[in-house]
Structure 1
Amino acid sequence: MKKIKIFTLTALAASCLATTSCTKDFEELNTNPNETAAARPASLLAPALHDVVTRNNNRALRLNNELMQVHVTILDSDEIHRYVVRPGESDYMWNNWYLQRTNFVDIYNNALITQQKSFMGIGLILDVWVTSQITDMFGDVPYSQANKGREGNLQPKFDSQELIYRDLFAKLEEANALLAANEAMKNDEKALDPLYAGDIAKWRKFGNSLYLRLLMRVSGKAEMNAAAKIKEIVETNASFYPIFANNEESAILKYTTTLPLVSAFTNMRDYDFNGSHGLSDFFVNNLNNMGDPRITRWATLHGASYLGIPSGYVPGNVPERQSSYHLDLKNEPLLGNIINYAEVQFILAEAALRGYISGTPSTYYNRGVNAAITMWGLEVPAGHLAKPEVALNEGGDFEAQLGQIMLQKYYTLFFTDFQQWHEFRRTGHPVLPIGAGVRNDGKMPARFRYPVYVQSLNGTNYSAAVAAMGGDDINTKVWWNK
């Protein structure tokens, strides 16, 4: 993302180093007058965005999809489906999320210099997006002092998750106001936008739809007043907070089969993508029961049927793999999903169920069910919404209705970083079967541990954060989940 300038130390420059009289001009001599001091915001956008999405996909396959019973390993040594998450698993996400956050922050800061409002808004949205992933996974994390290594701060303090979320919301407010100006990109900049090709109105809808996701995540904390803000966005001030109105506006980094926008799985061996695990019976059986046509896009047939295997099996009792991922998914453009229209509809269905907004939950729920299927280029089966396994039972109790909404949302979040896991932690839905071989007292991990090296490189601030959170353990709940 950043260009590292390597200068040739000439004999003249070397001789200058020996005297104080000429070192004062050395920096000026080694400055290329044809280059800008800061990277153009547009040049940072595609590489940083692609890196985060593809690495999220990689870890969705390795971690989220095991924890959330999308698939189950048939390698008996891998215990993630048994709720065993080793500390080393944290390094990959922590390192790469923070690395690309630097680029997103630079998009904003560099655009601020040139007063490019659209890129300022885009930088804020992407900063919020990646920061939310960091804090949702770990809890209290470096934020206000993070990504400032160039300023000499190599041991940043950890901020509380509550303060982080408050600042994320402030950034989304600023982004919405900046993008409201609808300041057009230049043609060459549009070509460098892999998400919306310079459509500022869609970027604005992306930011506000992400706002809804994060507001719902903290809605259990009364001090955040999330319900009132959701109502403002959806009803009382909707014209100022546009959100996704259809599938085409979804934030999906659509992969191609040619560089640079290739899938995380393009060069992965077929065995590593779908040979070392099989789809779970939970994942497959629900799709079968609902007659959901997405199963044809996601799963291979085992004989004449779609069949899964149990998660959390007892060590030594490895089940025979049955249905697995379609190999076509290795290059599937839709796996670049960040947040889509159907997810927003399920957020609104939950908001209506909780009384945050007016309208019936089924109105939003039905839109979400239909959109989630058509997004995959499939037709909604005749009478689908009337099926007992699909129709939202508005006469049922709260938890039953929430369970139906979250089950549909679970499938909508297919390969969307760790969102299935975050939503399970928040709501307890969908209800997953617990296998006899599951460890950790049968409890789903509530967070990931901090990387081990953070303890040695930033020990004082690490210790303060652990004390504030109540321990660096996979069962320590983060603030929004307490």
Structure 2
Amino acid sequence: MKINITHISSLFLLLGLTASCKDELAKINKNQNEAETPQPAYLLTSTIKTTTDSYWGVSNNLASSLLFVQHWARVQYTDPDRYIFTNNDFNEGWSTWYSKSISQLKLIQKLVANPENNNYKGVSLVLQSWIFSLLTDAYGDIPYTETGDINNFLTPRYETQESVYRGILNDLKNAQSLLKADGEAIQGDIIYGGNIINWKQFANSLRLRFALRIADRLPDLAKTTLQEVAAEGSGYIKSNDEIAQLIYQDAPNRNPVSSSFEAREDYRVSKTMVDKLVTLRDPRLEIYADTTLKKTSEKYIGLPNGLTSSEASSIGFDLTSRPGIYFRQPKAPAVILSYSEVLFGLSEAVSRGFITGDAADLYQKAIRASLEQYKISNTLIDAYLRQPSVRFDPNNYKKSIGEQKWIALYGQGLEAFAEWRRLDYPQLTPAKAGALGGKIPTRFLYPGTEQSLNGANYQEAIKHQGSNSLLTKLWFDKE
């Protein structure tokens, strides 16, 4: 008995020491600069910054969608400009937007449920809807309702693009009802500084964007959505001062385009864009492009898309135009949704008979808003709009709006890519040495990790949508 008591006493002493050591280790390993309970304001700031960095960054913008729509071209390491990719090349957006952006927004919604702050919840739903649209427009069918809840849905099922769009339109409608200008204040908003009226207008502007995205498939829902926006009464983004954008700061919080050019010189303005702006005598040319490093009679020279590395090298850096300094500076704004886009959208909505108005006037106002966004003078704007080549054609509104919207969306690769597929204008010539048999990609590839980590649901998506190919057309992209 004496021996047993001794052993038992020793055991309790050991357990006590172990517990004490664990407590000490926990104290030592605690990050003194990290909040134990996440705060909605910090999560909101983090989500906006993380998502926008990815939206304007290399993988989803510079090295893919900006090349597909021929805003930019590659002057070295040209495989992406020739549509040569692996499924690992498209992992960054998928990973970031699901594991960070959507997860943090869902957490905000949980944190503000008690005590309830509907403005935080409304703002998070607006951002969540935008992010899901980025995912579905890039990949097609995606995990949607089962995301952000890893405890219950470790392998979330994919849902059709139609279901996703119906869902995010409903979420935006709910967000609009939650957002109250006289409600509780929010912090951490680095887009609108907590101005809830701006968020309500941004929500409606996204509803306009998404209504038009599905207009060729679900015209009745598109029309109903715009009628609901009109009845709600908050309106849309109504000036360049209300653009939804993140204005960057100096390093380390600089624009990701600036970061890319600081390290290397992979990109030039596409010849397609430069030639179009020259033909139209468009004053945005000197904003969108730099003059060539070596003086040339043309001043601005674009690089053809899809050259081999040796072909691009033979043309060289000095005789082609870099993207303009406006886009390469550390504090360059990353636009999410512009006033110009809203006006183009309203012009199209009138042209489709969804709303009443003057489509030609809205179209001209959209172009004016784009030029004013870059501080171009009224004299130059008026001269530009008087040109027959810029005039609105009501019999082919998709061409008029598609070509001018393509110019106005310069730098917003993913949005320009979605609108080019939807409107089918401008009519682009595929990459010179492209790897897709004379065709331009119409989607991103699902990441390779989905095949191994969510294989059954991935296979169901492939069965429904089509092969995991760059050329598989998405649901909204109707002929």
TM-score (normalizing by structure 1): 0.85
Pairwise CA distance, 1:101 = 1.0
Structure 1 segment 90-101 matched on structure 2, within 5 A: 90-98=90-98, 99-101=100-102
Pairwise CA distance, 1:315 = 6.9
Match of 1:452 among 445, 448, 455: 448
Matches of 1:402 and 1:78, distance apart in 2: 31
C-alpha spacing 1:271/1:392, structure 2 compared with 1 (3 Å): farther
Matches of 1:74 and 1:325, distance apart in 2: 12
2:4 matched residue in structure 1:
none
Matches of 1:427 and 1:476, distance apart in 2: 17
1:263 matched residue in structure 2:
255
2:391 matched residue in structure 1:
391
Do 2:443 and 2:472's aligned partners in 1 also have CA atoms closer than 8 Å?
yes
Matches of 1:175 and 1:96, distance apart in 2: 23
2:430 matched residue in structure 1:
434
C-alpha spacing 1:298/1:126, structure 2 compared with 1 (3 Å): same
Match of 1:353 among 336, 340, 351: 351
Structure 1 segment 25-424 matched on structure 2, within 5 A: 38-58=37-57, 59-75=60-76, 77-98=77-98, 99-149=100-150, 151-180=151-180, 182-185=182-185, 189=187, 192-222=188-218, 225-234=221-230, 237=231, 239=233, 241-259=234-252, 261-270=253-262, 272=264, 275-302=265-292, 303=295, 304=297, 305-313=299-307, 316-318=310-312, 320-321=315-316, 322-331=320-329, 333-380=331-378, 381=380, 382-394=382-394, 397-398=395-396, 401-424=397-420
Matches of 2:410 and 2:432, distance apart in 1: 26
Do 1:107 and 1:119's aligned partners in 2 also have CA atoms closer than 8 Å?
yes
C-alpha spacing 1:328/1:143, structure 2 compared with 1 (3 Å): same
Pairwise CA distance, 1:82 = 2.6
Do 1:117 and 1:181's aligned partners in 2 also have CA atoms closer than 8 Å?
no
What SS is found at the alignment partner of 1:253?
Answer: strand
Of residues 199-208 and 383-392 in structure 1, the stretch that sits farther from structure 2 once superposed is 383-392
Of residues 331-340 and 248-257 in structure 1, the stretch that sits farther from structure 2 once superposed is 331-340
Matches of 2:330 and 2:240, distance apart in 1: 16
Of residues 307-316 and 436-445 in structure 1, the stretch that sits farther from structure 2 once superposed is 307-316
Do 2:117 and 2:184's aligned partners in 1 also have CA atoms closer than 8 Å?
no
Q: Residue type matched to 1:448 in 2?
A: F
Matches of 1:36 and 1:468, distance apart in 2: 44
C-alpha spacing 1:224/1:130, structure 2 compared with 1 (3 Å): farther
Pairwise CA distance, 1:120 = 0.8
What SS is found at the alignment partner of 1:418?
Answer: helix
What SS is found at the alignment partner of 2:336?
Answer: strand
Matches of 2:437 and 2:473, distance apart in 1: 15
Do 1:257 and 1:331's aligned partners in 2 also have CA atoms closer than 8 Å?
no
Pairwise CA distance, 1:370 = 0.7
Of residues 313-322 and 469-478 in structure 1, the stretch that sits farther from structure 2 once superposed is 313-322
Do 2:237 and 2:243's aligned partners in 1 also have CA atoms closer than 8 Å?
yes
Do 1:253 and 1:333's aligned partners in 2 also have CA atoms closer than 8 Å?
no
Number of corresponding residues:
446
Do 2:126 and 2:172's aligned partners in 1 also have CA atoms closer than 8 Å?
yes
Q: Deviations over 1:28-86 (max 9, x none)?
A: xx999xx98752211111121011111211131111111111122122x5233333332
Do 1:60 and 1:418's aligned partners in 2 also have CA atoms closer than 8 Å?
yes
Q: Residue type matched to 2:404 in 1?
A: Q
Pairwise CA distance, 1:438 = 2.6
Cα RMSD over matched residues?
2.8
**Structure whose CA Rg is larger:** 2
Pairwise CA distance, 1:444 = 1.9
Structure 1: unaligned runs, 5 residues or longer: 1-9, 19-26
Pairwise CA distance, 1:184 = 4.1
1:461 matched residue in structure 2:
457
Matches of 1:83 and 1:224, distance apart in 2: 36
Pairwise CA distance, 1:17 = 11
Matches of 1:293 and 1:333, distance apart in 2: 22
C-alpha spacing 1:11/1:100, structure 2 compared with 1 (3 Å): farther
Do 2:81 and 2:431's aligned partners in 1 also have CA atoms closer than 8 Å?
no
Structure 2: unaligned runs, 5 residues or longer: 1-13
What SS is found at the alignment partner of 1:308?
Answer: coil
Do 1:218 and 1:224's aligned partners in 2 also have CA atoms closer than 8 Å?
no
Q: Deviations over 1:175-212 (max 9, x none)?
A: 101114541416xx2xx221111111001111110111
Matches of 2:36 and 2:30, distance apart in 1: 9
Identity, in percent, stands at 26
Do 1:104 and 1:123's aligned partners in 2 also have CA atoms closer than 8 Å?
yes
2:3 matched residue in structure 1:
none
C-alpha spacing 1:415/1:435, structure 2 compared with 1 (3 Å): closer
Do 2:431 and 2:440's aligned partners in 1 also have CA atoms closer than 8 Å?
no
Tell me, yes or no, if structure 1 residue 478 matches structure 2 residue 474.
yes
What SS is found at the alignment partner of 2:393?
Answer: coil
Do 2:90 and 2:444's aligned partners in 1 also have CA atoms closer than 8 Å?
yes
Do 1:283 and 1:308's aligned partners in 2 also have CA atoms closer than 8 Å?
yes
Pairwise CA distance, 1:162 = 1.6
Do 1:352 and 1:361's aligned partners in 2 also have CA atoms closer than 8 Å?
yes
Pairwise CA distance, 1:135 = 1.2
Do 1:38 and 1:110's aligned partners in 2 also have CA atoms closer than 8 Å?
no
What SS is found at the alignment partner of 1:479?
Answer: coil
What SS is found at the alignment partner of 1:441?
Answer: coil
Matches of 2:169 and 2:415, distance apart in 1: 19
2:9 matched residue in structure 1:
none
Q: Residue type matched to 1:306 in 2?
A: Y
2:18 matched residue in structure 1:
14
What SS is found at the alignment partner of 2:237?
Answer: coil
